[in-house]
Chains A and B, each alone.
Chain A
Amino acid sequence: MLYRVMDKSQLPALVRGFMESYEVVAPVKRGERYVFDTVDSPDQIALDYPQTASSAKKYLFPPVEAMMRFDARANLVQDFVQEVKPRVIFGAHACDISGFNRLDLALAQGKYTDPYYAARRAATLVVGISCMPTDTCFCQLMGADEVQFGYDLFLYDIGDKYLVSMSSVEATNILEACCEIAEATDDDRRAFRLATRRHQAAFNPDIPHVEDVPMLMDVFHFDPFWDELGGRCLSCSACASVCPTCYCFDIRDVLQEDSDAGVRERTWDACTSPDFALVAGGHNFRPTGRDRVRHRMYHKLNGFMVNHDRMLCTGCGRCVAACKADIDPIQVLRFFDEKGARDDR
């Protein structure tokens, strides 16, 4: 990977450079939390954010989007014309970029491409930023603490400078045009190595590393743990709303008031919703909280692994904060960790 260093004072120039031809979305502080939002000045960006409440997934896969329009007067069905805004997601952490890469596997690189997602992904540049883990971060356990692809630039904080990994011509051209960049010195390389060590050492040691989680989940599929964990589910799907990798959706037709025309929309859905697995005839394949929570955890920590060789969880910790019932992948890791300790006795 090509890399250069740039002084931190250059950052506003880089942002303004992108603003000339892209909409820039970046972490901003709103109330007590951080969110990704459109910015019109580099000053609005809070690049040292611990974690945003929701992921930047919304820019690639919006909560609600039109798939087609229909007009009964003209007996017309019109495929939705993609009006994809060229955009830069500026300041994504490695976990979120890893999240995009995992979404790509499901939506852009599978047997069937999702044209809506693929168009947005193609029109979006990603600028990553290194981070320090919070208490609820466990990306290192999910293989998402570093990314080798899926971004255009990645800025590693090495003190007064950024070490910039350059991954696309488009973004590199803007970087070179707007900023003074230099070859890395030995001091820069040393600073980078120290920074990655500090990052590694900062993870919460109370979140256990468990070997073979997918297989353990198969082996303990009927453990009472799932009743306990799922039994307290509030059936709200807050977890899925903040998740960087949930990609399930529902489709609905919305008529305009005069009933002459309307739009077919898709909207985020989640396997934790009570009627997600309800089928014609009234049967619900996952009628209880236990069934639904277990299913969610299986898809995150087992099923996607089987098909794509990586977890569908990036360890970003957002669901840990969002769930008021204390249901999250960390609870699953703890369960297997404690079970292992008990069985050793």
Chain B
Amino acid sequence: MGAFSMITDNPRPRPRVVVVGLASCFGCQLQITNSEPHLMELLDQIDLEYWQLVTSEDMPDAYDVAIIEGSVTTRESEDLVRRVREKAAHVMAIGACAVTGGVTGMAENALARRVGEVYGDAVPEACGQMIEPRPVDAVITVDSRVYCCPIDARDFATQLQRVLFGSNAVREERALCADCKRNENDCFFNQGELCMGLVTRAGCNARCVNRGRPCFGCAGLSSAANLDSTRQACERYGVPAARFDKALQMFSQVPLSQAGRQGDDEPVAGTAVGKGAR
């Protein structure tokens, strides 16, 4: 293990790690391999016991850290993450699907109708017992998260290091625009175009806008997102608020509908999300 243990004379055993893929495109697991220049350095610090993307073997029975990609869409995967939770000391959710329900979460609304549209009466057995897609933390307690669709390889490395060495770093909860302004990007709203940065959790350094694309909100809603004020801002800049609400569904359908169910009588789309929204 690394030099820290040499200094402290307290050799840390390398944690046994498993990487589990649920409903997703497996793009976030692929992103881990994209940390190519440093991949061996990362792997050198852990005992990678299982990586679903690269093996046909069964998952081992004992491990310390479980990294979960994808959303929970079946009873079977619900049971799986519960079993994982019992065994792992630390569960890390990676990518939008695992963290917010992501793109798969769009099917959360009217699942039965959608299943009927795709399969008719003959749902293949391989589909399992389908349930409304939900993020991993809707089923079990999640200890850490790597945001975005797909995840950033460096973000993943940082989060893994926090698991290895511990960290009390607080993750910023603000919305994205400060990063964009710091990078001196043109604002899409000034051209009357929708950008989800106004409500999206910061941390990606406005990667998409830096490359000329509006933010889609893949990091999920900031816990301080101010949806009502954002709707007003949209209208002020010539973007219909309805377009904003529709765009929210791509990565935040599940959190919004959960907030709607738990909250008072406000309609789903009008409900502030999270502790910081006031």
Q: Verify B169–A252 contact, CB threshold 8 A.
A: yes
Q: In the complex where A63-B182, A232-B226, A235-B226 touch, is A259 in contact with B177 (Cβ < 8 A)? A: no
Which chain A residues border B44 with CB–CB below 8 Å?
258
With a cutoff of 8 Å between Cβ atoms, the chain B residues found around residue A274 in the complex are 173-174, 222-224, 276
Q: Total contacts A to B, CB within 8 angstroms? A: 138
Expressed in whole angstroms, the Cα–Cα distance for A241 and B184 within the complex equals 9
Most buried by B among A233, A273, A288, A324: A324
Q: Are the CB atoms of B2 and A259 closer together than 8 Å?
A: yes
| A130 proximal to B (CB < 8 A) | no
Q: Chain A: which residue is nearest B8 at the CB level?
A: A72
If A234-B177, A237-B177, A324-B198 touch, whether A275 touches B184 (CB-CB below 8 Å) is no
What's the minimum C-beta distance from A321 to chain B, rounded to whole angstroms? 8
CA gap between A231 and B224 in the complex, in Å: 11
B36-65 CB contact bits vs A (8 Å, 1 = yes)? 001001101100000000000000000000
Q: How large is the interface on A (under 10, 10 to 19, 20 to 34, 35 or more residues)?
A: 35 or more
The CA of A203 and the CA of B181, in the complex, are separated in Å by 26
Residues of B within 8 A of A268 (CB): 178, 182
Shortest distance between the CB of A149 and any CB in chain B (Å): 28
Q: How far is the CA of A231 from the CA of B229 in the complex (A)?
A: 8
Binding stretch for chain B, among A28-36, A117-125, A214-222, A300-308 = A28-36
B226–A234 CB distance below 8 A: yes
In contact, A241 and B178 (Cβ under 8 angstroms): yes
Which of B20-28, B67-75, B99-107, B158-166 touches A? B158-166
Chain B residues, CB < 8 A from A258:
2, 38, 41, 44-45
A255 (CB) vs chain B CBs: closest residue: B161
Which of B85-93, B129-137, B230-238, B246-254 binds A? B230-238
B199 within 8 A of A: yes
A309 within 8 A of B: no
Which residues of B lie under 8 Å from residue A32 when comparing CB positions? 186, 190-191
Assembled-state Cα–Cα distance A260/B1 (Å): 10
Q: Which residues of A contact B232 (CB under 8 A)?
A: 232, 325
Residues in chain B near residue A257, CB distance under 8 A: 35, 38, 41-42, 157
Q: Per-residue 0/1 for A104-148: is the Cβ within 8 Å of any B Cβ (1 yes, 0 no)?
A: 000000000000000000000000000000000000000000000
Chain A contacts with B in 258-301, Cβ cutoff 8 A: 258-260, 268, 270, 272-275, 278, 287-290
Of A234, A242, A260, A326, the contact of B199 (CB 8 Å cutoff): A234
Check if B224 sits within 8 Å of A235, measured CB to CB.
yes
B128-185 interface with A by 8 A CB criterion: 157-158, 161, 164-165, 169-170, 172-182, 184
Q: Does A207 contact B (CB under 8 A)?
A: no
Tell me the smallest distance from the CB of B276 to a CB of chain A, in Å. 5
Asked if residues B226 and A233 are in contact (CB atoms below 8 Å), the reply is yes
Q: Are A324 and B189 in contact (CB under 8 A)?
A: yes
Chain A residues near B224 (CB-CB < 8 A):
235, 274, 289
- Let me know if A72 and B7 touch, CB within 8 A: yes
Identify the interface centre among B44, B175, B276, B278: most chain A CB within 10 Å of its CB. B278
Closest Cβ neighbor of A253 among chain B residues = B169
B21 to chain A, nearest CB (A): 23
Q: In the assembly, what is the distance between CA of A257 and CA of B37, in Å? A: 10
CA A238 – CA B190 in complex, angstroms? 14
A260–B226 CB distance below 8 A: no
Given A32-B186, A259-B161, A260-B2, verify A324-B175 contact (CB < 8 Å): no
Say how far A61's CB is from chain B's closest CB, in angstroms: 12
Q: Is there contact, CB below 8 Å, between B226 and A289?
A: yes
A53 at the interface (CB under 8 A from B): yes
Which residues in A have their C-beta under 8 angstroms from that of B190? 32
Contacts of B2 in A (CB 8 A): 72, 258-260
Q: Would you call B236 and A259 a contact (CB within 8 A)?
A: no
Cα of A268 to Cα of B181 in the assembled complex, Å: 12
Rounded to whole angstroms, the CA-CA distance of A31 and B183 in the bound complex is 13
Q: How far is it, in angstroms, between the C-alpha of A235 and the C-alpha of B158 when the chains are bound?
A: 25
B122 at the interface (CB under 8 A from A): no
Closest to B173 in A: A274
Q: Is A84 an interface residue (CB 8 A)?
A: no
The docked-state distance in angstroms from the alpha carbon of A289 to that of B225 is: 11
A290's closest neighbor in chain B, by CB?
B278
Name the residue among B4, B180, B181, B233 with the largest chain A CB count within 10 angstroms. Answer: B181
Most interface-central of A75, A232, A235, A237 (chain B CB within 10 A): A235
> Which residues in B have their C-beta under 8 angstroms from that of A287?
276, 278
B229 close to A33 (CB less than 8 A):
no
A272 CA to B178 CA, complexed, in Å: 10
Query: In the complex, what distance in Å separates the CA atom of A257 from the CA atom of B41?
Result: 6
**When the two chains form their complex, are residues B178 and A270 in contact, meaning their CB atoms are under 8 A apart?**
yes
Chain B residues near A237: list those with CB within 8 A.
Answer: 174, 177-178
Judged by a CB distance under 8 angstroms, whether A97 is at the interface is no
Measured CB to CB, the nearest residue on chain A to B179 is A241
Q: Which residues of A contact B222 (CB under 8 A)?
A: 235, 274
Of all chain A residues, which has the CB nearest B35?
A257
Measured in the bound complex, the distance between the Cα atoms of B225 and A240 in whole Å is 18
B255 on the A face (CB < 8 A): no
Quote the shortest CB–CB distance from B164 to chain A (angstroms). Answer: 7
B165 nearest CB neighbor, chain A only: A259
- Taking CB atoms and an 8 Å cut-off, the chain B residues in 231-274 that contact chain A are 232-233, 236-237
Q: List 6 A-B contacts (CB under 8 A).
A: A232-B229, A236-B175, A259-B3, A259-B165, A274-B173, A324-B187
A interface, CB within 8 angstroms of B: 30-33, 35, 53-54, 63, 71-73, 75, 231-238, 240-242, 252, 254-255, 257-260, 268, 270, 272-275, 278, 287-290, 322, 324-326
The 10 closest A-B pairs by CB, nearest first: A257-B38, A241-B181, A236-B177, A235-B224, A237-B178, A236-B175, A258-B41, A72-B3, A232-B229, A238-B177
